[in-house]
Structure 1
Amino acid sequence: MSDRKRVLILGGTKDATELATRIAEIPGVEAIASLAGRTHQPRGVFKNTRIGGFGGVAGLTDYLQEQQIEALIDATHPFAAQISFNAATAAAVVGIPHLMLVRPAWERTEGDRWIEVDAHEAAAAQLPNLAQRIFLAIGRQELATFAHLQNLWFLMRTIDPPQPDAPVPPGKLLRERGPFSLDHERSLLQQYEIGAIVSKNSGGDATYAKIIAARELALPVVMIQRSPLPPGDTVTDVESALAWLKNTLLQLKK
């Protein structure tokens, strides 16, 4: 086993790829990125990447021990709540430092017509009395939650198609990958005569243009809020994560 310090980054975001690349440049450190594998062709994959789940807390704990991981950074998507809790638990069991890199959520601003809800089911319940044509910008994993709304029409944007046997609501499936420009999003909403949007509060710049377009067009946005994170150290950007890691590695050497 190499005497290099091994750091595991749980990925799935642009920040995770950037962080893994930057960590790999630190002398004496080996960065390993991990992707769940939900996207068939992930963009910007780090060279030292494993793809696939761990098998819950027990599997992740075993991996951390077997690979002699000395620090764990969770840079998963803000809505990947289960893996974040699994990571916090596994790191505590093994006794290694653990950090969460979480991009800030979007904040309501003047002109926004947000209806904030806590879950996809609550979002679906809002729609029958809100509009007839809905832009469903939540990815493919939760489409089935809206499949019972047969009297509405949905424009569904995903990176990958849903599973062949997965129920989906009526409408059109649009396969696109961000980032999206404001002109693109405004044109999309107007072309399909969208009356409301359902969105996760994912934060970041890649998909925020649809929120600006909705504001300009005075469209309501059913905004699904994030689940609470486990307790622990948290930063909001790559530079802060690097600073945390360098300080952590200094402590490990003492």
Structure 2
Amino acid sequence: MHVLILGGTTEARRLAELLAAGPAGRLPGLRVTTSLAGRVSAPRTPPGEVRVGGFGGADGLAAWLCEHAVDLLVDATHPFAGTIAFHAAHAAATARVPLLALRRPGWRRVEGDVWHEAGSLTEAAALLPALGRRVFLTTGRVGLAAFAPLADPWFLVRSVDAPEGARPPRMEVLLDRGPFTLDGERELLRRHRIDVLVTKDSGGAATAPKLTAAREAGLPVVVVRRPPVPGGVPVVTAPEQAARWVGEAHARRPPHP
């Protein structure tokens, strides 16, 4: 059985680890390939086979599934990798390969949060002039063009790799990778005199301390909502659930003659 994981997330790496060494790893004849988009310069590679780069759209992915005899497809990409999610759904249907989406739970508002929800980065940028002048922008290195027209606010942009393309005229780049600590986030907000935070609803614990630090400081937070998972695709929220799905599919396979 050949399982392809569309990865690049902590959950994808954990799933590959479970399939390699956990209970599912004892399944005979299990082959696991993780595909990384190649957008991060030094990715943390998971166990098993790894391929790097795109597929050439949905049709290219469907062709790869057929050419490499993939039996199961797990979309464990970032919650905001909306394009690949729809490519995966189309490719899985074309190649007749079962598809599962693995998505970490989103963050939940708690008492004391001052959240302003936005449906896109463009909507988030439109909210900023009324909320603050010193912005902590944690939406990644792509998408800064949405904030480029804002000449007055100053931006602290944190990303794993250096941003590309259009960007705000007044900004400083902080290259860093989570997980981040609460004390570290408190100090960052204080040192840079941040008065508004902008984040995507990525979920997970690695970058959640910034929300706690903003809550403690009474800062407004602009939260960009996630794109939807394609309709009809089953969704699980934990790598263990995805590993169980693989194990159940393996158990249903007829034995080799």
Query: TM range, normalised to the smaller chain?
Result: over 0.9
Aligned to 2:17, which of 18, 21, 26?
21
9-18 or 42-51: bigger deviation: 42-51
Q: Which amino acid aligns with 1:167?
A: A
Q: Which amino acid aligns with 1:16?
A: A
Partner of 1:224: 224
Q: Equivalents in 1 of 2:89, 2:199: separation in Å? A: 27
Identity %: 47
> Where does residue 241 of structure 2 map in the other structure?
240
Deviation at 1:44, TM superposition (A): 3.9
Q: Which amino acid aligns with 1:224?
A: V
Provide, for residues 11-67 of structure 1, a one-character-per-residue CA deviation record: whole Å limited to 9, x for no partner: 010110111122232321000000111111112443411000101111000000000
CA contact (8 A) 1:157 1:175 kept: yes
Task: Give the CA deviation at 1:252.
Answer: 3.1
Normalised to the residue count of structure 2, the TM-score between the two structures is 0.94
Report the Cα distance in structure 1 between the residues aligned to 2:234 and 2:249, rounded to whole angstroms.
Answer: 12
SS at match of 2:38: coil
Matched to 2:166, the amino acid is: P
Report matched runs for 1:6-85 at 5 Å.
6-24=2-20, 25=25, 26-85=27-86
Q: Write the mapping of 1:114-193 to structure 2, written as runs, cut at 5 A.
A: 114-163=115-164, 166-169=165-168, 170-193=170-193
Aligned 8 A contact 1:97 1:248 in 2: no
Q: Is the 8 A contact 2:18 2:240 kept in 1?
A: no
Aligned-residue offset at 1:84: 0.8
Report the TM-score when normalising by structure 1.
0.95
Which residue number in structure 1 is paired with residue 200 of structure 2? 200
2:15/2:239 contact within 8 Å kept: yes
Task: State the SS of the aligned residue for 1:64.
Answer: helix
Asked if structure 1 preserves the Cα contact closer than 8 Å seen for 2:145 and 2:167, the reply is yes
| Offset, 1:168 | 1.4
Instruction: Name the aligned partner's letter for residue 47 of structure 2.
Output: F
Contact 2:200 2:225 in 1 (8 A): yes
| CA RMSD between the two structures | 1.1
SS at match of 2:39: coil
Q: Unpaired segments of 5 or more residues in structure 2?
A: none
Aligned residues: 248
| CA distance in structure 2 between the aligned counterparts of 1:32 and 1:141, rounded to whole angstroms | 27
